[in-house]
Structure 1
Amino acid sequence: MISRSTIDQIFETARVEEVIGDFVNLKKSGSNFKGLSPFSDERSPSFMVSPVKQIWKDFSSGKGGNAVTFLMEHEHFTYPEALKYLARKYNIEIEKTEQTNEQKEVANERESLYLVNEFANTYFQRTLHKTDQGKSIGLSYFKERGFTMDTINTFSLGYSLDEWQGFTDEALKKGYQLEFLEKTGLTIVKEEKRFDRFKGRVMFPIHSMSGRILGFGGRILGADKKAAKYLNSPESDVYHKSKILYGLFHAKQSIAKEDNCFLVEGYTDVIQFHQSGVKNVVSSSGTALSPEQIRLINRLTKNITVLFDGDAAGIRAAVRGIDLILEQGMNVKVCSFPNGADPDSFARQNTPEELATYLEDHAKDFIQFKASLLVEDAKNDPIKKADTIREIVNSISKIPDPIKREIYVKECSNIMDISEAVLFSTLAQIGKKETQEASRQHRTEQTAFEVVRSEQPAKKVNHQYILEQKIIEILLLYGNETEEFEDLVMKEDDAGDLKMEPVIHQAKVFEKIYLDLQEDEMQFSDEQFQNLYYVIIEALHQSKEFQLKDFINKLDQKMANEVTSILMNDERYSLHDWERNHIIPKDKDKSISQLVTQTILSLRCFLIDQKVMEYKMEIAQPQNNSMGILEDVRDYLRLKTLLSKKLGKVVGSKI
């Protein structure tokens, strides 16, 4: 168990913007940060982080919380794992307890897969550095590739013994179950036999964005021509190769800082570049580039530079990836190496300065790259030249931004010496089918919408829910503030008439709200708000130094999510850059007492309206005493008139 004092220290030290910034490219937006949702496929920011409140909210998926809940949602950590991750990040000492065999058995399956991978990673590293076979074969290979010991340790490189069951026997001996060894792919089970998948290979662990081991890549060093040169872990509950980029854990901060990501093919390309000082580099690990992988990069930067070998296979791979990147609305450049060279060998053969200069000088815009590549193939053949132009325009058609499309059409016109009108016509032809399909789909949706609209009345706004939510928000933000409030007290004048006279007094915001609600015996209609209201009031009563961050951290997950949603609700509007359009939202904390009084009065007026409606329904019943009910209605309406006057005065003034 982690001690309460350690947990408190972690929450006190961790900064939500720093934690999330390791996974999402955050940009300043007023007092908050915004970015693309890491939980959905989107191109416009709907993800907000509040450094002041130390919470985040994803408006596209509805998720929200603090630094710990983000790690639990994004990385699928358990609560203790999220705490341990933050402890490592902020160098906080934490007591670790070794899991017993019984604890391993009750761990959920997904966590068991992680545990097995972590053990394997430690085992392969120990084998590399501590065994004769590991040092003479594995370590020698890495050193031949030019990797330093620091680099080997940074990427947790290892070695799997050239034995049929070396790893499997050791894992079983340590209490790990064969079921999970098989599901991670580390052990292959056939009938009564079991043997190591990565026998006799150097090992490249594949990390998640947060550093968890998801799987492995293994390179064979023997002369067995039947065996695959590289072998990856099979798909599992924790390893999906189309959704993972090798090196992203080590590159994420550099990618965000440099606002560019270099994309290569292999493990050693990434490691060699990193060692040469180019750390914003990732690899698709020999698999075809997928939209999910591109979206991982898109969270950190809009710019990708594709690096590829100078041979024909490398060129084909680069061309395939370009259109996919453009479809995701990203900016793409391409850089090729001399024939016979790849990113790994080029980095080894050149100094870090020479590598950086080469990348800067030879990175071409995708249209320049495609044009030079395809023109070389076409030469003086008119038919091939026409196909080349169509190929370039096809790539341009993938770009979702119409302004960028037009700019690239102009550039293509200049490079290929062809009129813009022809290119725009070709662009229109290419997109015609997609446009028609989109139009058909739109009409279908409109028809469905019309049917739904004709059959179902528009959903009414729940004013009571909104007002109750506002009360909770006020308590959370300003509950402990002391403010001056103006109350209207009924007094009898000399003529015997009742009049409302103003009385000014000071009070804590939470005390004012509590007493007003008690006076009218008002109850929250929403059960979640009702429970939350009493929890907040109790916390404010008990602590003179109420800290919102500490309060949220002590709530259960369901209540913490509700609090986050309430607090971040207004922030969604800052996603639209109102200030850039000269629309300046009013700060709520400039008139707290006015906000409190207005909200309470609005709720009282609403409840009076509800009560009057109930009385009107009673009058319709013949058995009821309508005269008595009418008298009650008149009393309520007189009260509402007084409250409405007060409300009008509050809205129009600064108390």
Structure 2
Amino acid sequence: MISRSSIDRVFETARVEEVIGEFVQLKKAGSNFKGLSPFSEERTPSFMVSPVKQIWKDFSTGKGGNVVTFLMEHEHYSYPEAIRYLAKKYNIEIEETEQTEEQKQQADERESMFLVSEFARDYFQDILLNNEQGKAIGLSYFKERGFTKETIKKFQLGYALNEWEAFTTEALNKGYNLKYLEATGLTIVKQDLLSSTGTKQFDRFKGRVLFPIHSMSGRVLGFGGRILTNDKKAAKYLNSPESEIYHKSNILYGINFAKQTIAKEDNCYLVEGYTDVISFHQSGIENVVSSSGTALTENQIRLINRLTKNITILFDGDAAGIRASIRGIDLILEQGMNVKVLTFPDGEDPDSFAKKVSKEELKNYLTTNAKDFINFKVSLLMEDAQQDPVKKAGLIRDIVISISKIPDRIQREVYIQECSRIMDISETVLFSELAQLDKKERREASGKPIYRETSKPILQKTPEFEKVNELTKYEREIIRILLLYGNNKVDFVDFVAVEPTSEHEEYQLKKEHFQNVVSKEIYLNLHDDEVEFTDEVFKQVYFEVIDQLNQNEAISVDSLVNHSNTEISNLVTNILMDDEKHILSNWERKDIFIKSKESDLSKMVLDAIYNLRRVLIEQKISALISNLKDEEEREQVLESVVNYTNLKQRLFERLNRVV
């Protein structure tokens, strides 16, 4: 049995468009890719791949799923074989083991650490916005940095009281275990022989403004804290320590907010600090992430590589800092990505520059001043080496080493020609140097695997049309709404029954306006009616969603897409990709613009709930009539039928339909 951690690593590393691109010719279509179906003969593309959601859908056959299910469908692999194939492709060492009780407990402990971190996020933001000390110190600081209240709430910024145990005491009073407070690094526990418990504890982030650090799916992994006093003994910035859930080298600050825009713009801006990211977002540039002051790692690059091949690195005007930073960026080239570099005027950094200029000026500056990384490196270092032949020779080798990292041979040749022009040296010498460096890599690259083609039927049997099962239809609609819009907050209009004051008055409905999260509104309605899904897969997805809401108060679609149950994964994928089917038709090019579904979201939610109730009532009426046995029971049954029919009538009125 392949361990869960190995499977997770495969899903985190594998890129669906990269794997499928080896079997299907894909072309860019907005933030997605499209191509001809590998499962049927066709001339018009009906196959779509979403890099953001890491899923695919073949609309010609109805097949869809994640990167593993594609290999299972196309290459006829079993689930373990597909995982092993991907692990080999991405050089991931997999563990095969039986899960012990200890491992099961470890999984529960990880979840407990997430819960503690999410409580801390809410606590620190509440202190920032509602506590007098938090407002006077923390909120004032963020406002001085130019952040609006909307931005502060979006990034869930917070403040820790300048008291030794304020957070820890509150967390313990709320029932959170000290073990997990310590494991996440939120609380520091030390031995104290004078204490009755033998230990003492205090808050790690005391007196600091806090930046929650999220995973790609939006879960809180840790915190970055900045001190606001001039205490020379304390570090200016302090991060959560490494833990089961927080690995600094695997995380990019802001990736959860930036992922969709990165895929849409097909470019990622890489900055150094938290405030750089936040200021850019506030200025309308959302495809930006930060390595949080650490040297860029392979895992961080892979996170970006899942969304785009293009990175633009933003440096401030400090020349010495630029020279120190560019040394490690060959790693990006090695991953086959395109790198550009942009510098700001002396004394400016991304944060200060974004505040100084308008949104339009910032966008224009980013567009016009970005330089190709290799050209930038040559022009920067040539200033030092121009009059020194030895330094120049060293620079040439340094540049060729960078070029040798690039996997694409055509791109390498273009860079060699460009460097030859800039450095005034023959291409032959540069190619000779490159050949020596590249000999080993070319030998390994020559052993590319050959994949078998799947047989494709010339003619397909026309499917027989089945009668639509209305109950299944509306159960699926509710699951669809939960997956696509479950986390949205919406203004609802409901109709409440007004009891007649006399027998001569007619039944009336009164409008009521209220606001609720879509998932909570659906849950409350289904729970009140004691509705159970009849379709087994819908039922399992619904239970998973409710469990997520109970644990995190939000729905994470990623975990359902990569679910070990392929039926759940396929259902979720089909729903997500069906929502983007219109992209294949390029309606915008034909000046046909699709109305946003979010505009009618409250009506969509209530219609789905009311229709489900209507179908269940119709089934109840049919069951009552079919089970009628004797005359004595007949009157009671007919009374129930009348009551249910009246209830159905009210639902029709709410749906604005005529019986």
State the AA in 2 paired with 1:34: V
Pairing 1:379–2:394 present:
no
Counterpart position of 1:132: 132
Cα distance change, pair 398–187 in 1 and its aligned pair in 2 (3 A): same
Query: In the aligned structure 2, how far is the partner of 1:374 from the partner of 1:274?
Result: 32
Cα distance change, pair 560–480 in 1 and its aligned pair in 2 (3 A): farther
Query: In the aligned structure 1, how far is the partner of 2:69 from the partner of 2:570?
Result: 14
Shift of residue 55 of structure 1?
A: 3.9
Counterpart position of 1:148: 148
Shift of residue 288 of structure 1?
A: 1.1
| Equivalent pair of 1:63/1:561 in contact (CA under 8 Å) | no
Pairing 1:182–2:190 present:
no
State the AA in 1 paired with 2:207: G
Shift of residue 124 of structure 1?
A: 0.3
State the AA in 2 paired with 1:32: F
Counterpart position of 2:280: 273
Shift of residue 37 of structure 1?
A: 10
Query: In the aligned structure 2, how far is the partner of 1:244 from the partner of 1:395?
Result: 25
Cα distance change, pair 151–57 in 1 and its aligned pair in 2 (3 A): closer
- Aligned pairs for 1:564-643 within 5 A: 564=570
Query: In the aligned structure 2, how far is the partner of 1:165 from the partner of 1:61?
Result: 52
Counterpart position of 2:244: 237
Shift of residue 551 of structure 1?
A: 9.7
Note the alpha carbon deviations across 1:380-405, whole angstroms, 9 max, x for none: 11111111111111111000011111
Q: For 1:290, which of 287, 292, 297 is the aligned residue? A: 297
Counterpart position of 1:502: none
Query: In the aligned structure 2, how far is the partner of 1:25 from the partner of 1:237?
Result: 33
Shift of residue 430 of structure 1?
A: 2.2
TM-score between both structures, scaled by the size of structure 1: 0.57
Query: In the aligned structure 2, how far is the partner of 1:398 from the partner of 1:210?
Result: 31
State the AA in 2 paired with 1:431: D
Note the alpha carbon deviations across 1:504-531, whole angstroms, 9 max, x for none: xxxxxxxxxxxxxxxxxxxxxxxxxxxx
Q: For 1:339, which of 325, 339, 346 is the aligned residue? A: 346
| Equivalent pair of 2:315/2:344 in contact (CA under 8 Å) | yes
Count of paired positions: 409
Shift of residue 240 of structure 1?
A: 1.4
Query: In the aligned structure 2, how far is the partner of 1:350 from the partner of 1:179?
Result: 47
Query: In the aligned structure 2, how far is the partner of 1:243 from the partner of 1:51?
Result: 35
Note the alpha carbon deviations across 1:149-204, whole angstroms, 9 max, x for none: 11111111100011111100000000000011011110111120111111110000
Partner secondary structure for residue 108 of structure 1: helix
Counterpart position of 2:57: 49
Query: In the aligned structure 1, how far is the partner of 2:300 from the partner of 2:70?
Result: 20
Pairing 1:311–2:312 present:
no
Cα distance change, pair 60–383 in 1 and its aligned pair in 2 (3 A): farther
| Equivalent pair of 1:160/1:199 in contact (CA under 8 Å) | yes
Shift of residue 34 of structure 1?
A: 2.5
Note the alpha carbon deviations across 1:94-144, whole angstroms, 9 max, x for none: xxxxxxxxxxx9991111111101100000001101111111110111111
Query: In the aligned structure 2, how far is the partner of 1:173 from the partner of 1:562?
Result: 39
| Equivalent pair of 2:540/2:568 in contact (CA under 8 Å) | no
Partner secondary structure for residue 66 of structure 2: strand
State the AA in 1 paired with 2:34: K
Partner secondary structure for residue 175 of structure 1: coil
Query: In the aligned structure 2, how far is the partner of 1:25 from the partner of 1:111?
Result: 32
| Equivalent pair of 2:34/2:48 in contact (CA under 8 Å) | yes
Counterpart position of 2:122: 122
Partner secondary structure for residue 188 of structure 2: strand
Cα distance change, pair 554–278 in 1 and its aligned pair in 2 (3 A): closer
| Equivalent pair of 2:52/2:307 in contact (CA under 8 Å) | no
Query: In the aligned structure 2, how far is the partner of 1:548 from the partner of 1:51?
Result: 24
| Equivalent pair of 1:151/1:271 in contact (CA under 8 Å) | yes
Shift of residue 560 of structure 1?
A: 3.6
Pairing 1:414–2:429 present:
no
Cα distance change, pair 106–169 in 1 and its aligned pair in 2 (3 A): farther
Query: In the aligned structure 2, how far is the partner of 1:562 from the partner of 1:222?
Result: 52
- Aligned pairs for 1:50-89 within 5 A: 50=58, 53=62, 55-59=64-68
Partner secondary structure for residue 405 of structure 2: coil
CA RMSD of aligned residues (A): 3.9
Identity of aligned residues (%): 60
- Aligned pairs for 1:188-587 within 5 A: 188-191=188-191, 192-432=199-439, 438=444, 478=463, 560-561=566-567, 564=570
Query: In the aligned structure 2, how far is the partner of 1:306 from the partner of 1:321?
Result: 12
Partner secondary structure for residue 300 of structure 1: coil
Cα distance change, pair 181–25 in 1 and its aligned pair in 2 (3 A): farther
Partner secondary structure for residue 203 of structure 1: strand
Counterpart position of 1:113: 113
State the AA in 2 paired with 1:152: I
Shift of residue 429 of structure 1?
A: 2.1
Counterpart position of 1:33: 48
Cα distance change, pair 111–119 in 1 and its aligned pair in 2 (3 A): same
Cα distance change, pair 313–199 in 1 and its aligned pair in 2 (3 A): farther
State the AA in 2 paired with 1:333: K
State the AA in 2 paired with 1:58: V
| Equivalent pair of 1:246/1:282 in contact (CA under 8 Å) | yes
Counterpart position of 1:157: 157
State the AA in 2 paired with 1:169: T
Cα distance change, pair 165–50 in 1 and its aligned pair in 2 (3 A): farther
Counterpart position of 2:507: none
| Equivalent pair of 2:269/2:288 in contact (CA under 8 Å) | yes
Q: Which moved further from structure 2: 28-37 or 227-236?
A: 28-37
Cα distance change, pair 123–384 in 1 and its aligned pair in 2 (3 A): same
Gaps of 5+ in 2: 1-15, 18-29, 36-44, 74-82, 84-104, 192-198, 468-533, 545-562, 575-659
State the AA in 1 paired with 2:322: I
Gaps of 5+ in 1: 1-15, 18-23, 40-46, 65-73, 75-104, 447-460, 483-545, 569-655
| Equivalent pair of 1:35/1:299 in contact (CA under 8 Å) | no
Flag the structure with more relative contact order, 1 or 2, with Cα contacts below 8 A and sequence separation at least 6: 2
Query: In the aligned structure 1, how far is the partner of 2:174 from the partner of 2:465?
Result: 54
Larger Rg: 1
Shift of residue 62 of structure 1?
A: 6.0
State the AA in 2 paired with 1:57: N
Cα distance change, pair 293–336 in 1 and its aligned pair in 2 (3 A): same
Note the alpha carbon deviations across 1:408-466, whole angstroms, 9 max, x for none: 11111111111111110011122345567x49x97xx99xxxxxxxxxxxxxx9xxxx9
Counterpart position of 2:648: none
Counterpart position of 1:173: 173
Counterpart position of 1:527: none
Shift of residue 349 of structure 1?
A: 1.6
Shift of residue 148 of structure 1?
A: 1.1
Q: Which moved further from structure 2: 244-253 or 49-58?
A: 49-58
| Equivalent pair of 2:31/2:51 in contact (CA under 8 Å) | yes
State the AA in 1 paired with 2:210: M
Counterpart position of 2:552: none
Shift of residue 218 of structure 1?
A: 0.4
Counterpart position of 2:77: none
